[in-house]
Structure 1
Amino acid sequence: MHPDSGQGRVAVAVVTGAGRGIGAGLAAALSARGHHLVVTDVDAEAARATAEALDGPATAMPLDVRDASAHRAVALAAADLGDVTVWVNNAGVLSTAPAWEASDEDVAATFEINTIGLVHGCRAAVSVMRRGDVLNVVSLSGLGPTPGFATYGASKAAALSYSQALDIELAAARRPVRVRALCPDVVDTSLVSNVAHRPSAALLFTGTRLLSVDEVVDAGMGMLGSRRALRTVPAWRAALQRTSAALPGMARVAVPFVARLGERRRLSR
């Protein structure tokens, strides 16, 4: 049975960056709930592989999230399949380097994908959704300073601010579309393994362990249909990030010390 769309039609879910990792996990979880999945990724073959692995009906579409018109095309195609009740903006890139060494290309791609891409996705989702949830996968790094990840953290902070403002605007307009922001700590995915060799990635390894994809998927799925607009995983790490933001003088002393601990753990992997 498909979940009730409220209109007697098939309920459709769109997931961006669903070729692997968290996006693929969320697509599988939503498919298990009975949604028709629209699986998108900049890597068309990866999107197709995810779609083919799902138990339920799925449509794979290539999507470069930097392209606003491509988002609109996905939204219209999804709306043709049924009622879009879930839209997940998951696509993202992870860059790590001292702020002054970040390349022009990395800075541009980080903001265009992590921030502008999420904004485009939200706008496309709202244009076709009558009701339901927009789930934005953000990051704990958007809550406070993350040395080595200045560009990445700033892109996620902007994405979080946009998500929260949009949720408030939709509520004020009495539109039954909720925007949910999920902020996980470091997740054991290829995004992390691809930068783990860099000394600037030290803060990735300051926690007790990396989160699993399943943990993040469970947290995100739990937000759908709930009143919870923001969830951090784990909460204690979020508290540290917020403290660093609120007490920059203390953070200037403490964060480099913590980063040295992370560097030792990174080298011991």
Structure 2
Amino acid sequence: MHPDHGQGRVAVAVVTGAGRGIGAGLAAALSARGHHLVVTDVDAAAAQATADALDGPATAMPLDVRDPSAHRAVALAAAGIGDVTVWVNNAGVLTTASVWESTDEEVTATFEINTLGVVHGCRAAVEVMRRGDVLNLVSLSGLGPTPGFATYGASKAAALSYSQALDIELASVRRPIRVRALCPDVVDTSLVSKVAHRPSAALLFTGTRLLSVDEVVDAGMGMLGSHRAMRTVPGWRAALQRTSAALPGFARVAVPLVARMGERRRLSR
């Protein structure tokens, strides 16, 4: 059974960065709900593999989220299949380094993918959606200072601000499109494993554990159709991030101490 989409048209969901990890998990969950999935990834073969593994109908498309015209092409293709009722901006990159050690390429790619990728995706989605949900995968790092992740955290903070502003703008003109921002803590994915060997990744290991992909997928799916515009997972970690942002003098002393604890945990892995 397909979700309620009206006039006998199939409900379509678009997921970016769906070749693996959280994106692939969200694609599978949306497919189980009856959506026709448009699975996108910069790695076309990975997108196709995810699409092939789904139980329901799916279309795989390559997508470099830095390209606004490519987003529009995906949006038009999805709208040609049916009613686009869910659009998930999941694609992202993770880099860790002190500010003075970050390369020009890392800084540019981080903002182009994590921030502009969300912006371009939202704009393309709004152009073709009549109603439904845009779900943006953000991060707890967007809520407060993250030494070692200054560029990454800033890119996510911008994506969060954009998501919240767009949701308000759509509501103000009574367009029935909700924009939802999901801010998880560190998730056990290949993005994390690729940087776990770096001392600059210490803050990744300051929590009690890494979240599973399934936990994040469940949280995201729970936001669809809900009145909850933003969700943090877990909530207590979000409170610490917000406190650091609100009390910068305290954060300047406390956050490096926490990072040293994370470094000990990182080395003991």
Question: Which residue in the other structure is 2:13 paired with?
Answer: 13
Question: Which residue in the other structure is 1:114 paired with?
Answer: 114
Question: Which residue in the other structure is 2:26 paired with?
Answer: 26
Cα deviation per residue 1:15-45 (whole Å; 9 max; x = unaligned)? 0000000000000000000000000000000
Cα deviation per residue 1:243-268 (whole Å; 9 max; x = unaligned)? 00000000000000000000000000
Question: Which residue in the other structure is 2:147 paired with?
Answer: 147
Alignment map for 1:124-143 (pairs within 5 Å): 124-143=124-143
How big is the shift at 1:235?
0.1
- Divergent runs of 4+, >4 A: none
Secondary structure of the 2:79 match is helix
1:243 lines up with 2:243 in the alignment: yes
How big is the shift at 1:146?
0.3
1:92 lines up with 2:64 in the alignment: no
How big is the shift at 1:93?
0.1
How big is the shift at 1:218?
0.1
How big is the shift at 1:190?
0.1
CA distance in 2, matches of 1:173, 1:106: 38
CA distance in 1, matches of 2:8, 2:99: 51
CA distance in 1, matches of 2:258, 2:203: 8
Question: Which residue in the other structure is 1:216 paired with?
Answer: 216
Cα deviation per residue 1:205-259 (whole Å; 9 max; x = unaligned)? 0000000000000000000000000000000000000000000000000000000
**Structure 2 counterpart of 1:253, one-letter code:** V
Cα deviation per residue 1:109-162 (whole Å; 9 max; x = unaligned)? 000000001100000000000000000000000000000000000000000000
**Structure 2 counterpart of 1:146, one-letter code:** T
CA distance in 1, matches of 2:50, 2:244: 38
TM-score (norm 2): 1.00
Question: Which residue in the other structure is 1:194 paired with?
Answer: 194
CA distance in 2, matches of 1:8, 1:86: 17
Question: Which residue in the other structure is 2:262 paired with?
Answer: 262
**Structure 2 counterpart of 1:111, one-letter code:** F
Residue correspondences, number: 269
How big is the shift at 1:6?
2.6
CA distance in 1, matches of 2:98, 2:173: 42
Give the unaligned 5+ runs of structure 1: none
CA distance in 1, matches of 2:141, 2:135: 17
Cα deviation per residue 1:75-110 (whole Å; 9 max; x = unaligned)? 000000000000000000001000111000000000
Give the unaligned 5+ runs of structure 2: none
How big is the shift at 1:8?
2.2
Question: Which residue in the other structure is 1:173 paired with?
Answer: 173
**Structure 1 counterpart of 2:213, one-letter code:** V
CA distance in 2, matches of 1:64, 1:17: 9
CA distance in 2, matches of 1:7, 1:189: 39
Question: Which residue in the other structure is 1:44 paired with?
Answer: 44
How big is the shift at 1:54?
0.1
TM-score (norm 1): 1.00
Secondary structure of the 1:157 match is helix
Secondary structure of the 1:17 match is coil
How big is the shift at 1:4?
1.2
Secondary structure of the 1:207 match is coil
Secondary structure of the 2:19 match is coil
Secondary structure of the 1:3 match is coil
Q: Percent identity?
A: 90
How big is the shift at 1:62?
0.1
